[in-house]
Chains A and B, each alone.
Chain A
Amino acid sequence: MFSQTKTTIIGLATLLSLAALPADAQPKYPHATVTMVTHSSPGSGSDVFLREMIKYLGPEMGVNFVVENVRGGGGAGAVARVAKGPADGSIFYATTPTYIQTTLLSKPEFGYDALDPIVTVFYDPEVIYTRTQSPYRSLSDAVNFAKQNPGKGKWGAASPGSLERIALETLNRMTGARAAVVPHDGGGDMIINILNGTLDIGVGELQEISTQLQTDKVKLLGVLTETRISQHPNLPTAKEQGINLVVTKFRGLAGPKNLPANVVAAWETAMPRILANPAYKKYYEGENLVPVFKGQKDSRELTTAFAADTTKSLRELGVIK
Chain B
Amino acid sequence: MDEIAIAWKALTTTWAIPAAFGGVIWGIFGGALPGISPSIAMALLLPFTYGLDPVTSVVLLGSVYVGAEYGGSIPAILIRTPGTNASAATTIDGYEMNKRGQAGLALGISLSAGFVGGLFGLMMLVLMTEWLARVALLFTPPAYFALGVLGCSVVAGLSGGSVVKGWIAGVLGFMVATIGTDPVSGVPRFTFGSPDLLGGIRPILIMVGLFAVSEILIQVREPPWDKADARDTRLRFPDLKLWKRLALPQAIGGVVGTIEGLTPGGGGTIAAFLAYNESKRWSKYPEEFGHGSPEGVAAPESANNVVTATALIPLLSLGIPGSNSAAILLGGLLIHGLSPGPLLFERNPDVAYGLYAGLFVANIAMFLIGLVILTPCIWLVNRPKPYLLAFIFALVVSGVFSIDQSLVDVGLVLLAGVVGYFMRWAEIPFLPMVLGVVLGYMVESNFRRSLQLSNGELMVFLEDPVSLGLLLCAAALVTYSLMRERRNKKAETGVTP
Contact = CB atoms under 8 A, between A and B. Distances in A.
Interface in B106-148: 136-141, 144
B43 A43 contact: yes
Interface stretch (B208-216, B327-335, B352-360): B327-335
B455 A180 contact: yes
Contacts of A154: 453
Interface in B396-430: 402-406, 409
Interface string B195-222: 1111100000000000000000000000
Contacts of A174: none
A59 to B, nearest CB: 17
Given A12-B47, A182-B452, A188 B199 contact: no
Interface string A65-102: 00000111111110000000000000000000000001
Report, nearest first, the 9 A-B pairs whose CB atoms are least far apart: A43-B331, A211-B319, A160-B186, A72-B404, A76-B195, A107-B193, A73-B195, A161-B186, A211-B341
* Candidate in A77, A106, A212 with the most chain B CB atoms within 10 angstroms: A106
Given A154-B453, A182-B449, 4 more contacts: A5-B47, A42-B43, A44-B331, A217-B318
A74 B47 contact: no
Given A72-B406, A191-B320, A319-B185, A102 B195 contact: yes
Interface stretch (B176-184, B362-370, B472-480): B176-184
B402 A2 contact: yes
Contact of B265 (A9, A48, A189): A189
A24 interface: no
* Candidate in B198, B341, B343, B404 with the most chain A CB atoms within 10 angstroms: B198
B314 interface: yes
Contacts of B196: 72-73, 76
Interface residues of A, number: 58
B194 interface: yes
B186 A188 contact: no
A151 interface: yes
A258 interface: no
Contacts of B195: 73-77, 102, 106-108
A269 interface: no
Interface in B337-356: 337, 339-343
Nearest to A320: B187
B339 A214 contact: yes
Interface string B28-47: 00000000100000011011
Interface stretch (A140-148, A192-200, A294-302): A192-200
A44 B327 contact: yes
Interface string B300-342: 0000000000000010001111100001100110110101111
A117 B319 CA distance: 35
A319 B198 CA distance: 13
B322 A188 contact: yes
A42 B46 contact: yes
A180 B452 contact: yes
Contacts of B166: none
Contacts of B282: none
B44 A215 contact: no
A67 to B, nearest CB: 8
B48 interface: yes
Interface of A: 1-2, 4-5, 8-9, 12, 41-44, 48, 51, 70-77, 102, 105-108, 151, 154, 159-161, 165, 180-185, 188-189, 191-193, 195-196, 198, 210-212, 214-215, 217, 286, 314, 317-320
B143 to A, nearest CB: 10
B318 A43 contact: no
Contacts of A198: 140-141, 453
Nearest to B464: A198
B188 interface: yes
B14 interface: no
B405 A72 contact: yes
Nearest to A110: B195
Contacts of B337: 286
A180 B265 contact: no
A319 B181 CA distance: 10
A188 B314 contact: yes
B50 interface: yes
Interface string B159-181: 00000000000000000000001
B264 A106 contact: no
24 contacts: A1-B402, A5-B47, A41-B43, A72-B405, A74-B195, A77-B195, A106-B195, A107-B194, A107-B195, A160-B183, A160-B186, A165-B186, A182-B452, A183-B186, A185-B265, A188-B314, A188-B320, A189-B265, A211-B341, A214-B339, A215-B341, A215-B343, A286-B337, A320-B187
